[in-house]
Amino acid sequence: MSGRDERGERGGVEAPGGILVVGSVALDTVETPFGKAEEVVGGSAVYFGSAASLFGHVQLVGVVGDDYPLDRLDFLRARGADLEGLEVAGGRSFRWSGVYDYDLNARRTLSTELGVFADFQPTVPDTFRSAEWVFLGNIDPALQHGILDQIDAPRLVACDTMNYWIERDRDTLLALLQRIDMLVINDSEARELSEDHNLARAARWILDRGPRHVVIKKGEHGAVLFHEDRVFFVPGFPLEEVFDPTGAGDSFAGGMLGQLARAGRVTERELRRAVVFGCALGSFACEAFGPDRLRDLSLHEVGSRVQGFLEMTRFEHQMPVGP
Amino acid sequence: MSGRDERGERGGVEAPGGILVVGSVALDTVETPFGKAEEVVGGSAVYFGSAASLFGHVQLVGVVGDDYPLDRLDFLRARGADLEGLEVAGGRSFRWSGVYDYDLNARRTLSTELGVFADFQPTVPDTFRSAEWVFLGNIDPALQHGILDQIDAPRLVACDTMNYWIERDRDTLLALLQRIDMLVINDSEARELSEDHNLARAARWILDRGPRHVVIKKGEHGAVLFHEDRVFFVPGFPLEEVFDPTGAGDSFAGGMLGQLARAGRVTERELRRAVVFGCALGSFACEAFGPDRLRDLSLHEVGSRVQGFLEMTRFEHQMPVGP
């Protein structure tokens, strides 16, 4: 645990701290009712980085094979992302392929080829050790522990995981919960981790095990932040066309941590706003194959969508309502 | 269509207009993971009336058999509901029984015994014809048409339906859409009616066919109001204990129309607030078997829960967000 959460802004003269992400860098082949995209750049670190680099200085740690089209990550560099932590190993890059059903909620994995990702031993470059905002993408929890050992004093550590690790390495994951500030998972994972179908109780179970904040992603139904005894809901953005939901969850995390880094403090107010920015980035990610939509996105467009969320949720009420 | 929607308040000296509901009055046997309740009072008109009678003068139209325990509806009368339109026919009352799975979202119907409800020909008592707020519960759309023929000049007509009628009497239902102001249905029904999986497009399809407002209920994920080109989302209330979701949708409708009747006008602001009141009533309905929780509920408790929704959804954002 960073122990520096919620303490407000630092001195104010320093440059904003780096946003470190560790995760997969992949080539995805995706089929949806709208068509098929072959070997587009993807992976949790790429989606997170595409979103977070709109807000601040991204530092990426990952691995690719010597067959990876690195020039297709130039848009990240152009936005100031530092890819020094992206190792190029001899062998094939991580490849994933999947197909989405007509309703775009359910997906089937057709193939997973781990390649060099199977032996990934993430090393944090010295220049990344002072990162202030850290996102541990969905990888082996033992590796997530190893990353934390290599980082000095982050202000906020957020972490993703998946059913695979919950089932296979539960103890390592539970130990990790005591070292992070925020768990960012989807609803089925929260239920499986807590062994409780009720999401409110599931979140409380997780909060009792370490993290100060739990963010539960609900796909088209939006996201929920649980924080102390408070709950904050954001609906899914009502897109009329969803092209490809791949990476929406990591784009969500990138938008959320990016906005927190930009705000420079982890207060209730900033957390709420950051979750909405996350939902905005997650919705943009669905509008094209791969991270294409995030590549051309401006912060002004993001702000307009956040404004859209505000208009979709606000209402007036004053207590007391009395007979 | 009433044609008087959105026109603001009337003179102001009249008493608030009646809230008329037509629907089933049943005996429900419900099994959930928390236990079993045998032959509790239920049905769409009972749940709607239990909720709406907190806000205004309910006028109920329905039918029961001569075996119905009418004294168990005394709590409605005590809240000023007029049951003159509740016909007692010779024969057995409508009985439904069902069982909920552990997650309380999926339910299976074990038996449906229509009894006197099979020959229901609703008659609106003369004293109900001037009702201003009308809810057509989920019954045969031909009967819903017949109700509208018996009402003078309602300010707002809201209507529910279900997959059964969408599949069997689509044309009658489509004709009904041109006579109502608001359709209140759940997400799967909206998808089936519009033949479009995307909920935003489904809502637009419905709006194009008559109603000025479409309210889509999403169970534990809350509700959405579509109104002109605007969308308003309310999340589901994060209950830690859901005892029995039976009747939540009709309680939602009762809370919504009740609050609109209390407000006395159908503006964007009042519609939004009314949908939140609907969600509050829907959540209370889940806290006990049958309408038990609604029976003892105070308007102050409802207002507190609406305040809870406000706290769960509010955030701050100001455009422009600039690079």
pLDDT digits (tens, 9 = 90+) for B104-162: 777 899 999 999 999 999 999 999 999 999 999 999 999 999 999 999 999 999 999 99
Phi, psi (deg, nearest 5) at residue B213: -135, 140
Flag if A314 and B314 touch (Cβ within 8 Å). yes
Binary contact (B200, A239; C-beta < 8 A): yes
CA A259, A262, A264, A270 torsion-angle sign = negative
pLDDT at B245: 92
> Which helix (H) or strand (E) covers residue B276, if one does?
helix B268-285
> Would you state the pLDDT for residue A317?
92
Strand-strand pairing, B26-32 and B35-42: antiparallel
Mode of pairing for the β-strands spanning A26-32 and A230-234 = unpaired
d(CA A26, CA A15): 31
Name every chain B residue with its beta carbon within 8 A of the beta carbon of A197.
102-103
Strand ranges in chain A using DSSP code E only, listed in sequence order: 19-22, 26-32, 35-42, 58-65, 82-89, 94-100, 107-113, 133-136, 156-159, 182-186, 213-217, 223-227, 230-234
Inter-residue contact B204 to B216 (CB < 8 Å): no
Tell me, what's the ipTM? 0.90
CA atoms within 13 Å, Cβ hemisphere of B95: 16
> Which domains, ranges and CATH numbers included, belong to chain B?
19-312 (3.40.1190.20)
Q: Which residue has the higher pLDDT, B92 or B8?
A: B92
Which residues have a Cβ under 8 Å from the Cβ of B87 and sit 6 or more positions away?
Answer: B62, B63, B64, B123
Which chain A residues touch B320 with a CB distance below 8 Å? 300, 303
* Interval A291-300: pLDDT, tens: 999 999 999 9
What angle is formed at CA A228 by the lines to CA A224 and CA A232, rounded to 5 degrees? 25
**Do A323 and B240 lie within an 8 Å CB cutoff?**
no
Testing the interface with A: which of B55, B243, B321 to mutate, by most A Cβ within 10 A? B321
Q: Are residues B319 and A307, on separate chains, in Cβ contact within 8 Å? A: yes
Set of chain A residues whose Cβ sits within 8 Å of the Cβ of B319: 303-304, 307
The predicted structure's pLDDT at residue A30: 94
pLDDT of residue B40: 96
The confidence score (pLDDT) of residue B16 equals: 61
Chain A positions in Cβ-Cβ contact with residue B231 (cut-off 8 Å): 238, 312
End-to-end CA distance of chain B: 48
Window from A2-6, A164-168, A235-239, B45-49 with minimum mean pLDDT: A2-6
B contacts of A238 (beta carbons < 8 Å): 199-200, 224, 231
Contact between B235 and A235 using a beta-carbon 8 Å cutoff: yes
Which is it for strands B133-136 and B156-159: parallel, antiparallel or unpaired?
Answer: parallel
Lowest-confidence pick of A104-113, B68-77, B177-186, B204-213: A104-113
pLDDT of B11: 39
Q: How high does pLDDT run on average in chain B?
A: 92
Q: A199-203, A258-262, B315-319: lowest mean pLDDT where?
A: B315-319
The angle at the Cα of B293, spanning B288 to B296, to the nearest 5 degrees, equals 155
First to last CA, chain A: 48
Closest residue, chain B, to A259 (C-alpha):
B321
Between chains, do B303 and A315 touch, taking CB under 8 Å as contact? Answer: no
The mean per-residue pLDDT over the stretch A181-200 comes to 95
- Return the minimum-mean-pLDDT range out of A207-211, B60-64, B156-160, B216-220: B216-220
Q: How confident is the model at residue A168 (pLDDT cuts 50, 70, 90)?
A: very high
| pLDDT digits 0-9 by tens, A83-92 | 999 999 999 9
Q: Which residue, among B260, B283, B164, has the nearest Cα to B212 in the 3D structure?
A: B260
Q: CB–CB of A272 and B323 under 8 A?
A: no
> pLDDT band at residue B74, thresholds of 50, 70 and 90?
very high
Share of chain A above pLDDT 90, in %: 86
Which amino acid is located at B97 in the chain?
Answer: S
**B304 contacts in chain A (CB < 8 Å):** 319
Q: Tell me what pLDDT residue B320 has.
A: 57
Return mean pLDDT, chain A: 92
Section B215-234 average pLDDT: 95
Comparing CB atoms, the residue among A273, A276, A313 nearest residue B233 is A313
CB contact under 8 A, B314 and A317: no
Q: What is the mean pLDDT of residues B268-286?
A: 97
Contact B235 A242 (CB under 8 A): no
Query: CB distance A317–B306 less than 8 Å?
Result: yes
Q: Which residues in chain A are closer than 8 Å to B307, comparing Cβ atoms? A: 317, 319
